[in-house]
Structure 1
Amino acid sequence: MLRYVARTPRATPQRAQSRRCTLAIDFHAYFQPHAFLDRLRHRSGYPRIERVGGRETMMSAPGVGRPLRPEQNDLSARLALMDAAGIDTQILRLQNVSGIDALELDEGRDVARAANEESAALARQYPGRFIAFASVPMKDIGVAIAELEYAVSTLGHRGVGISVITDGVPVDDVRVAPLLDRVEALGIPLLLLPNHPSTCDPALAPFGWLTGAFGFQVDISIVALRLLCSGALERRPRLRVILANLGGVLPFVSERLDQYWQRVHAGGNVPSESPREGMRRFHFETASGDAGAIRLAADVVGVERLVFGSDYPSFDMARAVENVRQCGLPESDVARILTGNARVMLAA
């Protein structure tokens, strides 16, 4: 059985100053293993690494890229940022944006294996500071299951993260069902994240920045609702699914969904339980939610369904922690969001 190992935080100045506060466990932060970056440095197609303005830049398409930050693969630099932000532990998981899903199957399988082995080694090197979550190549579900088994059973990974849609196939699709079954059987959390291309790309063009800012939120919401309406979670009551980015827009439209379910019932495949009840089958991580949004999510699905996420480096670690602290909930509930619920999930 997988266990979260509690430990006394190291007494760095920043951590010593924050001991009066609950330190966070961060479910959502980019990690780029050296094996992955080395692969991108030698690729001719996208994604690849180019030098732009004297800096290594991860390019996902022509003219579209982000400079690499040292702390994305230098864990000593990452730890300093975590300490300053009040984050005790982070999940190590290869990024899915411009990650395995963008590679052909054979290359993605090799990168997944190298990344999973590297992240497991780092989690052992920094016990209590980092926890490894598996990355799997979703272009072939059989290959994905085999890599998941290896990562969990051999390497000791504590969960898995996948995109809500891969090559046009959402996770509620019958083709993905064997993977969901295996995740449930292994008893590990499943983190669902958005990725390119977004279903909203045609509507948002030519304002490309809105894909990540808004389109991703729509994608998460659509796939979560598909999982509920298809009965995928009802059939797997022990499957623990974490929705990234505060569940997209779901907390904000819960009343509309409920009233439509109660009064209209137009169309097919109506779920047996209300949308709000169904939402409580998920866990929501708090990345990109401001204080008011986090408070609303707690009201809609219950504080026990929330775990902390920063979405670093897209978003600021310290600001993500502060948003939770300022959400207006009692300190005991804030502590549950930042760390308590995560400890329960990782110990299950």
Structure 2
Amino acid sequence: MGLIDVHAHFLLPEYVAAAERAGHVRPDGLPAWPEWSVQRHLDLMDSTGIAKSVLSVSSPGVHFGDDFRAQVLARRVNEAAAELGRQHPGRFGFFASLPLPDVDGAVVEAQYALDVLHADGVVLTSNAGGQYPGDPSWDQLWRELDARSAVVFLHPTSPPQWRQVALDRPRPMIEFLFDSARAVADLALTGIFNRYPNVRFIITHAGGVLPLLGDRLDLYRSTYVPTSGELPSVTSQLQELWYDVAGTPVPHQLPAVAGTDHLLYGSDHCFTPASAVAAQIAALDQSPATANWRTRTTANAVQLLGERVSL
């Protein structure tokens, strides 16, 4: 069994056109949208030993200001992803896009994607229109996902105040990691992880800055956030999450992630070029911190996503 890539992106021409009409000509401050085609993606998979890619739409998601159009676009990309899986059996799965912050629309699309299209889970961005995932208005969605024991792939996006903090640098360089931390901290401190234990979360980029923050969050919440006192420690909640290794996890970052039984492989293609994917795999192969990482991450993906990912 080859690698199972849980962090892989696809781009439909109509999705890029919709994003550009909404002003996302330079997505999250990158120079341009990358090119994507199913054949190039398959070529990359074959050359790097990736057996299956679980596709998702990356930042900035599918909601560009209008709820109805976001619902239509979410349905379009989800049905296209499901069709790719049918056309290439065993090679592609997908995490379904949801039109958040439209919670009602997101619930409808999650039901359709999981029950009818048989998505492997859903993809959520770290914030949706400035709302973070611990917002009380999202509880209806969490109940639906919990009832289905759904996998949630939590992908970073630009923070609401990105103009003030990014300083014209590409937001994936710094801001993505911190916005992921904001989202996960919000989920932990508002009790979402605790109240909806059947939802399984994948956090990108080996947790980003999260592994360094758990103890600090616990210290501060014990003094300043007394309402969270009945919850498990943030550190213990972080240990229950799953983490992909997209980005630059070796040699420095990965050793800070608690344990290896929840590690998953992620390429971040097509936003990460094929040459960089190959270099990252070579670095993982050579690092003492990632011994047997291929076997471990594949077994973990099968455990998380079910036997059908290995078909």
Q: Same fold (TM over 0.5)?
A: yes
| 1:154 partnered with 2:116 | yes
1:64, distance to aligned residue in structure 2 (A): 6.2
Does the 8 A contact of 2:57 with 2:97 survive in 1? yes
Contact 2:10 2:270 in 1 (8 A): no
Please give the residue correspondences for 1:1-348 in structure 2 after superposition, counting only pairs within 5 Å.
23-37=2-16, 39=18, 43=21, 45-47=22-24, 58-60=25-27, 65-69=31-35, 72=36, 74-97=37-60, 99-199=61-161, 201-205=163-167, 207-209=168-170, 211-257=171-217, 260=219, 265-268=222-225, 269-271=227-229, 272-293=231-252, 295-298=254-257, 300=258, 302-315=259-272, 316-329=276-289, 331-337=291-297, 339-347=298-306
Aligned residue in 2 for 1:8:
none
SS at match of 2:146: helix
Q: What SS is found at the alignment partner of 2:112?
A: helix
- Please list the CA deviations of residues 281-335 of structure 1 after superposition, one character each: whole Å capped at 9, or x if unmatched: 211111113323454144x2x2111111121233322233233333324644542
Report if the CA contact (8 A) 2:178-2:208 is conserved: yes
State the TM-score, normalizing by the size of structure 1.
Answer: 0.79
- Kindly tell me: are residues 303 and 68 of structure 1, through their superposed partners in 2, closer, same or farther at Cα, counting changes over 3 Å? closer
Which protein shows a greater Rg?
A: 1
Percent of aligned pairs sharing the same letter: 25
SS of the residue 2:296 aligns to: helix
1:234 deviation in Å? 0.8
Closer/same/farther in 2, CA of residues 172 and 323 from structure 1, 3 Å limit? farther
TM-score, normalization by structure 2 = 0.87
3-state SS, counterpart of residue 8 of structure 2? coil
- Three-state SS of the structure 2 residue aligned to 1:134 is strand
Q: Size of the alignment, in residue pairs?
A: 302
Quote how far apart the aligned CAs of 1:32 are.
0.8
What's the C-alpha RMSD, in Å, of the aligned pairs? 2.5
SS of aligned partner of 1:195: coil
Partners of 1:273 and 1:153 in 2: how far apart? 32
Sort the Cα spacing of 1:199 and 1:322 in 2 relative to 1 into closer, same or farther, 3 A.
farther
Structure 1 contact 295–327 (Cα < 8 Å) conserved: no
Structure 1's unaligned 5+ residue stretches are: 1-21, 48-57
Give CA-to-partner distance per residue, 1:89-130, whole Å, 9 cap, x none: 111222232x31334212111111111111101011111111
Structure 2: gaps spanning 5 or more residues: none
> Which residue type is aligned with residue 195 of structure 1?
T
Distance between the aligned counterparts of 1:104 and 1:85, measured in 2?
A: 39
Change beyond 3 A, Cα 1:95–1:256: closer
Evaluate the alpha carbon distance shift between residue 66 and residue 38 of structure 1 in structure 2; reply closer, same or farther with a 3 A threshold: closer
